[in-house]
Structures are given as structure tokens and as C-alpha cells.
A and B are shown apart, each in its own frame.
Chain A
């Protein structure tokens, strides 16, 4: 459908895009009689920023939930690193190196920023409950190592000043950043962002965009994001999937998508049959 499918190219700003990392093949997701996703296929290449856009109720978040293993599609296959993924629970998907943030912030409000971000390391902790309780040997060493990773992320996202602040006391924009920090703490290969800029002012959006680009650039993390702000999507992403009423109506570079008549119709609101 477009020239970039298949990966293995270098972007204009010098980032290397690798092979296909994830492939969604003919996904259909139904809730009873409601068809949320209708026979959609697309792929995500290693190292790219892939956006999923579409009007309200298009099925974007459902798609993200399929990737993260929260929903299991009735039809279709999810291929990850060249292997077909069997039906999985979300924690199993997380262990494969996929982390996400949520549209409505899902943090532990009463816990400090540091503790919240530390929970992102859960998949990397191996010591048992008993050894964590007595706090000796392996558990202690593990905590130190995990803390080091977390501190680097805190430094990276410039949230040192709120390290010890309970999340409940933070403004919205910062909570979003803490969520990103927690997702990054899992050191994911694929990062799923569900509307990372929703409800933010211009300045916060600019900051968040910068962080998303930096994450992609510095850690080489592949990113799939859902976003409503078209300006942001077009600036950030390498390729865009456009959904409308559960169907894929466009796929390609921001420029290709922008000139796609079906996409224009969906956004400007042409009567549906």
C-alpha cells in the first residue's frame, strides 16, 4: 500500500528504521453484536513512531488493547518478532517487552512518584516475596539495580523535583509524564501511548512531544500512539494508520494520509451509509 511497508530504511532526520516488529493480521474484535474492529491489518517497524488516528469511537483504544493483550480478538493473528503470538494475558505481553500508558491516568495516587515509577520495574523483579520481606541479599541488590534504572528515567524526563511528591498532588500534565516514566521503567521494546497529550496545554504538548521523540531516539524504543491533535501526529510519526467505524481507511506517511480522500471525508464528516 505504501513504499515504507517492510521497513529497513533511514528517515530524513537520520533514524534507522528496522524490520517489521509487530504485525496485525486481519484483526476483528466484537463485543456481542458490536463490531469494534473490522478486519484490520497493519504492521509496526522496529524503531518507528506509528500513530493510530481516527474520530471518536473509531476503535483506536480497542486496537491498542488488542496489542497489549487486554482484549483477545475473535479473528485474526498478532505476530510479534516474526512469531505468531498465542492468546496471552496482559502481564505475559508486558514480559515480552510491551509497555503502555492509559488515556485516563492510572497511577497510584497516594504513592510517591518514585514508588509509582518503581512499579514499572515489576516485570524485572525476580526475588520472592519472602526475601523481599526480610530485605536481605538478592532482594536488596535487586532493589538497588532497579532504583538505578528508575533514577535514570527520572533524570531523563526531568521529574527530579517531584521524586518524593505523592502523585495525587501533581497537576495533570506532570501525571502524564509520570505515567510515561512508569512505562519506560519496564524498558519496553514497544511503547504504547494512549492519547499522551489529551487535555494538555500547548506548552505541555510541546514538552511531551520532545520527550516522545527523545525516548525514540535515545533508547531506540518503538512507539505506537493514539492521538487526536493532528499537528502533533503529523509532526511526530513516521507512519499513520487511520481508522473510522472499526475499519482501516488509510495507512501511510503523514503526507500520504493527509491527501487521502477517505481520510478527509471521515474527518470533515461525510454522511455514512
Chain B
């Protein structure tokens, strides 16, 4: 087993880290929250007092060691403290997604057998009440925001601050000290539920060792310091937020800032100017689109200035960030650009001080990624899972690329199975799934290797991991070469004109694709070029649109061809579909992921045409309108052949 490490200097639980932080950084800000228009600050010493008061309060409620305490709400310091207060009294905090509907909450609350719930406001309390009948185990609820709560029956309901007062007055301090001193490195720190995209959510039990070892290793990897600032805005039930806002915050002693409300996140981001920042690709995409739209409205001179310097940034920015040699003239021009364009832009985005930025969760478009990096923002990628306490691989400074997810994080071992699936083993590997030994056994083997469910390979030379697809989607083509649809689809979807792409080819001689145009982007283009169209279908079948799509496909083919392993996945033939793939028609999941099987069945005639060489196909498709009525649309689609490229031989060195 890899679990050979021991905690350094008795820092083996979060409450002990808290005590260390009080001694070391007592007067330094630990948490901030904007409320009533002002950033309210708590120092580590104040935080410790608040947490202790809450812990004493929980004792008066009769919390036992080993109880589960559910925490529901948005990122607020008080709720972060309740994690630590729960740990202090020997209970296990279980954060839940605040936007979950009552039934979803009911499943998790029932599964973990929570006796106590700490909820943010009336909305969350109401949700729990709604399913209270199914949950006889819940004995008491604590709420934070008193608004609208005055008329509720308070026999099993207490306000957070009232509970703290009660704790301060009547809490059993000796008992608290006994419970605080008891846990060991291998006791449970937190339980986090997976989002459950496949089946019911699973409770991932993470020990103090998992959390603290991971926080320590990752903080050292990126040289995080006590002076760092983060903005906590991602769901508290997500493992990443727990690691960033509690694990790493308590390990390094940096300050966690909570926005005033979800809607003020961007202005709060600007005000705080975090030095360490995480966002999913979607957030970076939206921000970039906003910038571009605002630039479209700018005066001609400003537009010219922006585009001129952005082109320069694209050329030399990433190299400067990676510390590669750059000519003196270029350097000077970049500095001028920093003064006139990059600096103000970063300030507007709230990224002026970002020293370490991460994105993860899904593939990020290379243009988006390069845009931020060329501005001098150290944006990197990581690859992780709840079961790994986040970190599996991450990109070290100076080795950042948009197509890899980095090298194994410190302490992580990687292994690629014969079918391409990635396995890992690390001190962060979860203890077990709660009340689910079967899943635990099928995910984690006796030696501690965990299956990720993703297929990938380790790039020769750089040692970086590249994720190509979900393992279950990866197949072989007729000639035995690797077929990874998502890899190609992502490349296609990076073009703004392509909304959705579905690539076929498992067991076939060559790959083919269905494409969906992005109505906003293509419609905008049509407007600017005076191309009239009356429907989605007509626009999608327009010869010029088809030609554009063909050029996109060919560019993707050229880029796929560069990869010897995946060059078989070049798209030989494609159609642009006459309708948008839609969740109402069952073609996408509610989270807008492609359902391959359904699409294959539904469009079997088109798929056949892609492989029988015909140049067009007449088809009729059933559609569901938003009000539930059904109808059908007829269309004749043109099947296009795309140029494919020779596998580029790697030049012998």
C-alpha cells in the first residue's frame, strides 16, 4: 500500500490545523464575506472562536460521535465553519448540493442517515421539511438566515447564532476537548456525494489522511502561501471546493472570500482579485465571449489597438509565461501591450493578481485557453475525481498545453490498462463508498488502484497524461485502430459554428460524423453576409454553410492526423443535420450530453447513407415541440466527403 506517510508534527485533523493557524496566523484574515456592501473579515483567531462556539452548541443538541451532519447552502463562511465544528465533535460533515430538489435531498439524507441538518435559509429548510415524512432520522435543523423563519415551530429548529450562544453558555468544554483530541489520521474527515450522472449518488468517504496529504502535496506543487486569496463560489458539495476552501486553506492558512450573492460573483471577483483561482471551462468561455462582444461595440481605434496587441500576445505571451527566450523587441512590445491592453483587461476580468489558475471538468478549447495564457494569466489544467480527493494529474508551471491534463500530482501513481483505461493510486484515494461495498470493490482493487472510467495515454517524451474519452465509448475500428469519438467531437465543437458533433466509426472502415450548426453563430454570419434563410433547416443546408463546415472538418482531420495513435479517427464523410439535437427528443441527456445509441437508431437511414457512398439522403424525422406535441420534418440532406490526411510520420531525429 502507498499509505506509508505519517502526518507532520501532529497536524492530522482539520481542528488541529485550525489550532496551528491560530498560533501562527492568529491576526491574519481567514474568511471574508461581502455583506451589506462591505467585506466582513474574520481572523483565524475569530474563526476558531466561532467554530468552537458552534461545536459546543452541537454538543448541547446531543450530537454523537460518528453522526452525519448534512450541510446545505451556498458558499458562506458560517457553513464552512460548520464543517470544522462537526469534525470537532467527532461527527462527519456531509455537504449537499443546494440546488438539488427535495427528492434528491431525501435520497442522500436517508442514505447517510443524517440526524442533524445545517441549512442556509428558509428555502433549504422548506425542502427538508417537504420530505421530512420519509426521513424520521432527522432530529434537529439549524438555519443561518432568519428571514421568513419567525413563524416556524422552533422545537426542532434553531438559528445558527442562537445555537452558538447556547454553546458558549452551556456547552460542555471538557467533552469537546475529549472529542477534539480523539480522531486519528485515518478517521473520516468528510463524506461527499458524487453528482450521480450514472445512477444514484454514491457517498465517498474521505479520511483526514486523504484530505490533508492531498492539500499538502498540492499546496507545495503550486507554492501556495498564507498570503494567497481565493474566491469560494463553486458548490460546497463538490470535492474541489472542499479541498480549496477548507483543505488547502487550513493547510497553508490563506484567506477564503465568499461572494455577496451568486449574481455579484463577477464584481466580487474584481474587488478581491484572487491569486489562486479555479473555474470550469464554461466560465472562461462566457467571460471571453463577453469581452469579444464588448470589443465589437468599442470605437474603431480601440478595436484596432485590442486586436493588434492581442495578436502580439498570442505570439509571445505563452512563451513569456513559460520563461522561454523571447526577442528584445517583442518583449518591449509586450510590455507596452501590458500597459495599454492586457493589464486593464485582466483588471476588468478580476485576474490581475492570479498567480495560479486552474480549469478542469471538461475539455477547454485551445483558443480560449491560449487567450488567457497569452494575457499572462497562469491558467493550467488538472484532472481529478472525488475518489482521488481531486488531484490525479496537473500541469506544472512551464509545461502547460491545452491538449494534456499534466503529469501525475505528487504522490500519485498512474497505470494504463490494456483497454486504455486510466488507473491511479495515491494517498488521496478514498476509503470506501458509504454503505456500498460492491461499488467500492469494483472501483478500487486490493492494491489500492482506482479505475477512473476514462481512457487515455501517457505521452512519450513529456510524460503528460492525455485523456481521450470515456473508456466505455472508446472502441476499435475495422482495421483495429483506436476509435475515440469524443476526442474528435471536442475538436469539432471548438469551432463556434459547430454546436454539436457526433462521430461514428466503431467497427467500421472509416469515421463519419453528424454535425449541428450553432444557430447564433451561423445566423450572425448569414446576417453579415446578406444570406436570407427562413428556417434552421434551410440555413443548415445552405451550400456556403456546408462549405464552411467542410473546411472545419478538414482542419480537424489535419489536426487528428498529427496524432499517430488516433489518426484513424479522421472524418471521411459527414452530414449537417436538419434539426438540432434536443433533450426533448431524447437525443441528448438533460445535462446536454450526446446519447449515441438513440441517435444511431433514430437516424439509421442517414447513417447508412454515410457508409453506402450515396451523395444525398431523403429523410423524415419525428420531433417533439416544447408543448409536448409531436410533428415531423422532411429533408434531403447532402452527404459530403471531407479530405483526409496521410498519417504524418514522426521525423526521425
In contact, A163 and B148 (Cβ under 8 angstroms)? no
Residues of A within 8 A of B263 (CB): 160-161
Across the interface, name the chain A residue whose C-beta is closest to B37. Answer: A151
> Is B328 an interface position by the 8 A CB rule?
no
**Which residues of B in the span 31-48 have a Cβ within 8 Å of any Cβ on A?**
35-38
How far, in angstroms, from A248 to B36 measured CA to CA in the complex?
44
How far, in angstroms, from A155 to B121 measured CA to CA in the complex?
14
Task: Known A155-B35, A155-B36; judge A160-B264 contact (CB<8 A).
Answer: yes
> Is B260 an interface position by the 8 A CB rule?
yes
Q: Write the nearest CB–CB distance from A215 to chain B, whole angstroms.
A: 11
In contact, B260 and A160 (Cβ under 8 angstroms)? yes
> Is B147 an interface position by the 8 A CB rule?
yes
In contact, A218 and B147 (Cβ under 8 angstroms)? yes
Across the interface, name the chain B residue whose C-beta is closest to A154. Answer: B37
> Is A32 an interface position by the 8 A CB rule?
no
Residues of A within 8 A of B37 (CB): 147, 151, 154, 160, 163
Chain B contact residues, majority secondary structure? loop
Q: Write the nearest CB–CB distance from B265 to chain A, whole angstroms.
A: 9
How far, in angstroms, from A13 to B151 measured CA to CA in the complex?
8
How far, in angstroms, from A13 to B35 measured CA to CA in the complex?
31
In contact, B148 and A161 (Cβ under 8 angstroms)? no
Q: Write the nearest CB–CB distance from A210 to chain B, whole angstroms.
A: 9
Give the size of the chain A interface in residues (CB under 8 angstroms). Answer: 17
> Is A148 an interface position by the 8 A CB rule?
yes
Most chain B CB within a 10 A radius of its CB, from A13, A156, A158, A160: A160
> Is A14 an interface position by the 8 A CB rule?
yes
Contact with B along A5-23 (1 / 0, CB 8 A): 0000000011000000000
Across the interface, name the chain B residue whose C-beta is closest to A15. Answer: B151
Across the interface, name the chain B residue whose C-beta is closest to A163. Answer: B37
Contact with B along A26-68 (1 / 0, CB 8 A): 0000000000000000000000000000000000000000000
> Is B150 an interface position by the 8 A CB rule?
yes
Contact with B along A132-174 (1 / 0, CB 8 A): 0000000000000001100110111010110110000000000
Contact with B along A176-219 (1 / 0, CB 8 A): 00000000000000000000000000000000000000100110
In contact, A148 and B36 (Cβ under 8 angstroms)? yes
Residues of B within 8 A of A155 (CB): 35-36
Contact with A along B10-50 (1 / 0, CB 8 A): 00000000000000000000000001111000000000000
Task: Known A151-B36, A160-B37, A163-B37; judge A214-B261 contact (CB<8 A).
Answer: no
Task: Known A214-B147, A217-B148, A218-B147; judge A152-B264 contact (CB<8 A).
Answer: no
Q: Write the nearest CB–CB distance from B287 to chain A, whole angstroms.
A: 16
In contact, A161 and B264 (Cβ under 8 angstroms)? yes
Task: Known A160-B264, A161-B261, A161-B264; judge A152-B36 contact (CB<8 A).
Answer: yes
How far, in angstroms, from A163 to B264 measured CA to CA in the complex?
10
In contact, B148 and A214 (Cβ under 8 angstroms)? yes
Residues of B within 8 A of A218 (CB): 147-148, 150
How far, in angstroms, from A217 to B151 measured CA to CA in the complex?
9
Residues of A within 8 A of B147 (CB): 156, 214, 218
Contact with A along B189-213 (1 / 0, CB 8 A): 0000000000000000000000000
How far, in angstroms, from A158 to B263 measured CA to CA in the complex?
10
Q: Write the nearest CB–CB distance from A68 to chain B, whole angstroms.
A: 28
Residues of A within 8 A of B38 (CB): 151
In contact, B151 and A160 (Cβ under 8 angstroms)? no
Residues of B within 8 A of A148 (CB): 36
Residues of B within 8 A of A152 (CB): 36
Across the interface, name the chain A residue whose C-beta is closest to B148. Answer: A214
Q: Write the nearest CB–CB distance from B124 to chain A, whole angstroms.
A: 16
Residues of B within 8 A of A214 (CB): 147-148
Residues of A within 8 A of B261 (CB): 158, 160-161
26 CB-based A-B contacts, threshold 8 Å: A13-B151, A14-B151, A147-B37, A151-B36, A151-B37, A151-B38, A152-B36, A154-B37, A155-B35, A155-B36, A156-B147, A158-B261, A160-B37, A160-B261, A160-B263, A160-B264, A161-B263, A161-B264, A161-B267, A163-B37, A164-B267, A214-B147, A214-B148, A217-B150, A218-B147, A218-B148
Question: Which residues on B are within 8 Å of A, measured CB to CB?
Answer: 35-38, 147-148, 150-151, 260-261, 263-264, 267
Q: A152-B36, A160-B264 are in contact. List 10 more A-B contacts (CB 8 A).
A: A14-B151, A151-B38, A155-B36, A160-B263, A161-B261, A161-B263, A164-B267, A217-B151, A218-B147, A218-B150
Question: Which residues on A are within 8 Å of B, measured CB to CB?
Answer: 13-14, 147-148, 151-152, 154-156, 158, 160-161, 163-164, 214, 217-218
Closest 7 CB pairs of A and B: A161-B263, A151-B36, A161-B264, A151-B37, A14-B151, A160-B260, A160-B261
